[in-house]
Amino acid sequence: MRYLMVFLGLFVANAVCAGDEPAAPITNISTSDEPATDGKPPAKFTTDAKWETAGYNNDEIVYTILVTSHDSRIIRCTTALQGSYYENGQKQSVSDRQLSTVFPDQQVQVGNWMGMDQQSGATYSVHCHAI
Amino acid sequence: MLRSVFVIAYVTLTCLCAHAARSADLGELGRKIFFDPSLSASGRMACSTCHDPRYAYGPPPGKGIARGGPQLNRGGTRAVPSLRYLHDAPPFSEKTRFADGDVGPGGGFTWDGRAGTLKEQARIPLLAANEMANRSAAEVVSKLEKSHYAPEFRQVFGADIFKHRDRAFEAALAALEAFQQDPKEFYPFNSKYDAFLRGEIELTEQEERGVALFKDPAKGNCASCHVVLSKRGQPPLFTDFDFLNVGVPRNPRIAANGDRNYYDLGLCGPTRRDLAASHEYCGFFRAPTMRNVALRDTFFHNGVFSSLREVLDFYNDRDLHPEKFYSHNPDGSVHKFDDLPPGYADNVDRDAPLDRLPGATAALTEADMDDLIAFLKTLTDGYAPEPQSASDAAQRSDEYAWKVFVALNKPSAAWESWPSANDIFRPDAADPGPWKSTQQPSAVPIGSSRFEAFSARELPNLHRIENGKMVVVKDPLASASRLTEIHLNQAGYEYIRARALYNVAGQLRAEAVSFPAATKEVKAKWRVISEAERSRYYAMTVKLADGTERLYGLTALHLVTKDLPTWFWATFEHVDNPQLPGNDGWQAPSRDTFACGDAEPACNRAPRGIGLEGTVWENYRLRGTLTSFVDRAGKPNLLANSELEAGMQSTASCITCHSRAGIGTVAGQPIRLAVFDTSTGDPKRGFVGEPRPEWFAEGRIRSLDFIWSMAKAR
């Protein structure tokens, strides 16, 4: 049942995502927007973000950001996230920033964020460079 | 002449009746004394504090080595024994003749047999400094005199009884002894094994294998001390009151063991003193009954082990892998038999399975141990066979719901030992194997397969908002304030196995899935509770990933049985649920005609007379039952549990929702119907009313007989 629910959750998700690229779905291969100062070519990676519903009664909303490396080198990524949540009926903004190391041709789940308001949407950006 | 006969008969009858009344009064008085904490120096410790009737008059979980004294801070030196099945214990004798012809020490009460009668035994805790801690018999009597049952005490023993302190103390002990001779309380012989011995039921294959291992002299060999023979027409006691020394490891949790020169040697002291010179008895303790052993979480005289599995592992590996159990010497070698002073190793039992030489094969396999535990669980009192009745389910639904509730929950929740949905629908889609019940550890790991893992809280790298900031949840599962689980009984489990419904391929192949009438499914929800709430809840301890433990209380329970073609649906909740933070309250009133009668079905009471009184189960309420999709007017029947159907109580119909459990294929891919009706934009709207034919149009989806957990199959 839980897989059915996950499937349903994905199906109805109305994510508002923005990375370095246009709004979601973000699946294009992108490169680092940081010029290679040491002569190294920019990192190759793609990102994806999605809202998932979880919990026994589909009552947990989670925002997930994934980074997939298409590079033969280890890359280091900085992910910034901005979203909203409600506290005592008042809409509040919340942000977060994560550092991730991604091995060649691997995917990492940068993070899973609970408690944000899905209707308000969320934005994120990912910057990666080879190390 | 005739008149004389009548007179004699009348006098005789009067005497007999008076005697009977006196015995009953004595027992009732003993009950009051037994449960009275005011008789202790602390005012907070009764006999029942340690000898809890919910645990066969043994210790409640976590209280196996009790702390007593005036401040309840003086540690006990031995594990609290059960007071059940002591009625036939012979007085202690060094020349007891056992069934196998052996002659040796046997009988008596307490771990070292130093009390000759129940009355003598009762004296010990009342005066022990680390138990109820009265300084003298007279102090106990003073407390008795102030008790609320003092008038009954005078009634039974005479108006001036309290003027004679010694007599009054002896009278109290006699009352306690009389209470402990109440067969319903202290030797009910109503376990599953007793029902089997009476020919009323069959044991499962696993339990039968366990019995054989228990008796087999080359395997468990348990029956050599925990005898299985009936005596004088009485069912077996699972002890012959023999004494032996199995060389159990020292328990560092016993405060007295902090003194490296302190040794509790049982028969030869220091508590018992008359056999101090009998060095051959040092380390000997009385073999306890195995009845109700599955209710314990402390084993052996020093309570060193906390699960049956650990005990069996010890018997199996004591001599093969002693490093698993014993402490180490300064030179790093294993200090085998570390709870015995040097020179006493020869006293230790060497009978099978404790007869292995290093390098030999262990007597028991892992599967053997599972089987033995399954058998030992049949020795728990209070067994009630799982009820099965289509007519009761249909016609006396509320009463039947409680009948199922009692059968599955008392004395402990039997359904906890059934395989969970995660056990049945394995990640590798493989056959889950033959039925076996699972003994739950005293602290259930948070990652146990019994819990539904469908929660964001188990996701890696999880963050949540705290005080306006995103913070990392270090142990995602540690934040799980609620846990959910689903279990299926043996009839349902074996049906799934027989038809390979445990994976998607099997479900797609299956025709006309229809579970047998004996099938039962349980869905339960727990929440974190405080220690203060423990006494109101059926509770379990969960061990979190960081090793800390958290207490959970059962808040909600769905009981589903296949007594009817569209199943019988009942849901129960803890009475405190509507007051919980975040709970939506009971949006529809409870309906329980069994507890409340037809006139006021929402009376919010537990039924009386079915054994719930005085147990945590009296805090649970039947919210209602369902046996049909719609009522006589065609209106959808609803039934919601505020915890399990949180956020969707107004559109919750178990029977309609579960009717959508099915499987089909689209473009070669398996599909299932949605749980929620999202057509209105409400993400948590349930389906209600009669199932609609279009759901299963053209055979696109085939029913899986109302079992949603089948959708977990890979």
Domain membership of residue B508 (yes or no) is yes
Residue B447 has what pLDDT? Answer: 77
- pLDDT-derived band at A2 (thresholds 50, 70, 90) equals very low
Per the model's pLDDT, the better-predicted residue between B76 and A32 turns out to be: B76
Q: Which of B61-75, B435-449, B558-572, B616-630 has the lowest mean pLDDT?
A: B435-449
Compute the average pLDDT of residues B498-507.
96
- pLDDT-derived band at B211 (thresholds 50, 70, 90) equals very high
Compute the average pLDDT of residues B675-695.
84
| Chain A residue at shortest CA distance from B476 | A112
Contacts of B531 (CB under 8 A, 6+ apart): B551
B376 and B517 housed in the same domain? no
- For residue B242, pLDDT over 90 is answered with yes
C-alpha angle B596-B599-B602 in degrees, rounded to nearest 5: 50
B309 and B396 housed in the same domain? no
Q: Is A112 on the interface with B (CB under 8 A)?
A: yes
Domain membership of residue B411 (yes or no) is yes
Compute the average pLDDT of residues B624-653.
94
Domain membership of residue B626 (yes or no) is yes
B157 and B211 housed in the same domain? no
- Give A-chain residues touching B675 at CB under 8 angstroms: 1, 4-5, 8, 58
- For residue B14, pLDDT over 50 is answered with no
Contacts of B238 (CB under 8 A, 6+ apart): B85, B226, B227, B228, B289, B290, B291, B379
Compute the average pLDDT of residues A79-95.
91
Residue B158 has what pLDDT? Answer: 94
B414 and B372 housed in the same domain? no
Residue A5 has what pLDDT? Answer: 30
Residue B9 has what pLDDT? Answer: 45
DSSP H or E stretch at residue B377: helix B366-377
Residue A35 has what pLDDT? Answer: 52
SS3 (DSSP) at B103: strand
Give the pLDDT confidence of B693-705 residue by residue, as tens digits. Answer: 888 876 688 999 9
Residue B24 has what pLDDT? Answer: 67
- Give B-chain residues touching A109 at CB under 8 angstroms: 459-461
Q: Is A53 on the interface with B (CB under 8 A)?
A: yes
B141 and B192 housed in the same domain? no
Interface of B with A in 618-647 (CB under 8 A): 644-647
- Cα torsion A22, A24, A28, A29: sign: positive
Residue B1 has what pLDDT? Answer: 43
Contacts of B669 (CB under 8 A, 6+ apart): none
Burial class (CB in 10 A: 0-12, 13-18, 19+), A81: buried
Domain membership of residue B478 (yes or no) is no
SS3 (DSSP) at B188: coil
Distance of CA B679 to the CA centre of its chain: 45
- For residue B380, pLDDT over 70 is answered with yes
B705 and B564 housed in the same domain? yes
| CATH code of the domain containing B156 | 1.10.760.10
Q: Do residues A12 and B683 make contact, with C-beta atoms less than 8 angstroms apart? A: yes
Torsion angle of C-alpha atoms B320, B299, B379, B28, degrees rounded to 10: 160
Q: What is the percentage of chain B residues whose pLDDT exceeds 70?
A: 93
C-alpha angle B37-B38-B43 in degrees, rounded to nearest 5: 80
| Chain A residue at shortest CA distance from B462 | A112
- For residue B556, pLDDT over 60 is answered with yes
In 10 A of CB B318, how many CB atoms? 24
Residue A9 has what pLDDT? Answer: 26
C-alpha angle B139-B141-B147 in degrees, rounded to nearest 5: 110
- pLDDT-derived band at B21 (thresholds 50, 70, 90) equals very low
Give the pLDDT confidence of B64-117 residue by residue, as tens digits. Answer: 999 999 999 999 999 999 999 999 999 999 999 888 788 999 999 999 999 999
Q: Do residues B83 and B58 make contact, with C-beta atoms less than 8 angstroms apart? A: yes
- For residue B7, pLDDT over 60 is answered with no
Among B168, B186, B204, residue at a domain's last position: B186
Compute the average pLDDT of residues B668-674.
85
- Give B-chain residues touching A4 at CB under 8 angstroms: 672, 674-675, 711
Q: What is the percentage of chain B residues whose pLDDT exceeds 90?
A: 75
B397 and B374 housed in the same domain? no
Q: What is the DSSP letter of B89?
A: P
| A23 strand-pairing partners | A18
SS3 (DSSP) at B528: strand
Count of structural domains, chain B: 3
Option in A8, A59, A81 nearest B646 (CB): A59
3-class secondary structure per residue, B289-324? CCCCHHHCCCECCCCCECCHHHHHHHHHHCCCCHHH
Residue A58 has what pLDDT? Answer: 58
Count of structural domains, chain A: 1
The rounded distance, in Å, linking the Cα atoms of B130 and B594 is: 46
The rounded distance, in Å, linking the Cα atoms of B188 and B384 is: 13
The rounded distance, in Å, linking the Cα atoms of B116 and B93 is: 10
Instruction: Note whether B465 contacts A112, CB cutoff 8 Å.
Output: no
Q: Of B223, B273, B247, nearest to B112 (Cα)?
A: B273
Give the pLDDT confidence of B570-599 residue by residue, as tens digits. Answer: 999 999 999 987 788 999 999 999 999 999
Among B158, B186, B214, residue at a domain's last position: B186
- For residue B12, pLDDT over 60 is answered with no
DSSP H or E stretch at residue B214: helix B205-215
Per the model's pLDDT, the better-predicted residue between B44 and B22 turns out to be: B44
Average pLDDT value over all residues in chain B: 90
- Give A-chain residues touching B464 at CB under 8 angstroms: 113-115
Amino acid at B679: S
Residue A56 has what pLDDT? Answer: 55
Amino acid at B661: A
DSSP H or E stretch at residue A109: strand A107-114
- pLDDT-derived band at B478 (thresholds 50, 70, 90) equals low
- For residue A19, pLDDT over 90 is answered with no
Instruction: Note whether B465 contacts A56, CB cutoff 8 Å.
Output: no
Residue position matching structure tokens 């003749």: B97
Residue position matching structure tokens 């809202």: A51
- Cα torsion B59, B60, B66, B69: sign: negative
Domain membership of residue B539 (yes or no) is no
Domain membership of residue B678 (yes or no) is yes
Q: Is A29 on the interface with B (CB under 8 A)?
A: no
Domain membership of residue B545 (yes or no) is no
B636 and B661 housed in the same domain? yes
Task: Read off the tokens for B311.
Answer: 């005990």
B142 and B221 housed in the same domain? no
Using omega within 30 degrees of 0 as the cis cutoff, is the peptide bond preceding B353 cis?
yes
B151 and B234 housed in the same domain? no
- pLDDT-derived band at A57 (thresholds 50, 70, 90) equals low
- For residue A11, pLDDT over 60 is answered with no
Interface test with B, best of A81, A84, A102, A112 (most B CBs within 10 A): A112
Distances (CA, A) of B301 to A119, B161, B486: 61, 38, 37
The rounded distance, in Å, linking the Cα atoms of B77 and B65 is: 7
What range defines the domain where residue A62 resides?
2-130
| CATH code of the domain containing A59 | 2.60.40
Domain membership of residue B701 (yes or no) is yes
Distance of CA B547 to the CA centre of its chain: 23
Q: Can you say whether residue B470 is alpha, beta or left, with left for phi > 0 and alpha for psi between -120 and 50 degrees?
A: beta
Contacts of B517 (CB under 8 A, 6+ apart): B388, B390, B562, B563
- For residue A18, pLDDT over 60 is answered with no
Burial class (CB in 10 A: 0-12, 13-18, 19+), B382: middle
B370 and B396 housed in the same domain? no
- pLDDT-derived band at B441 (thresholds 50, 70, 90) equals confident
Compute the average pLDDT of residues B175-203.
93
Q: Of B488, B474, B492, nearest to B523 (Cα)?
A: B488
The rounded distance, in Å, linking the Cα atoms of A18 and A22 is: 6
Rounded to the nearest angstrom, the minimum Cα separation between A17 and chain B is 18
CA distance from start to end of chain B: 89
- For residue B455, pLDDT over 60 is answered with no
B64 and B112 housed in the same domain? yes
Burial class (CB in 10 A: 0-12, 13-18, 19+), B265: buried
Among B161, B186, B211, residue at a domain's last position: B186
In 10 A of CB B524, how many CB atoms? 25
What range defines the domain where residue B497 resides?
390-418+433-438+488-526+553-712
Q: Which of A36-45, B419-428, B524-533 has the lowest mean pLDDT?
A: A36-45
- For residue B58, pLDDT over 70 is answered with yes
Instruction: Note whether B461 contacts A57, CB cutoff 8 Å.
Output: no
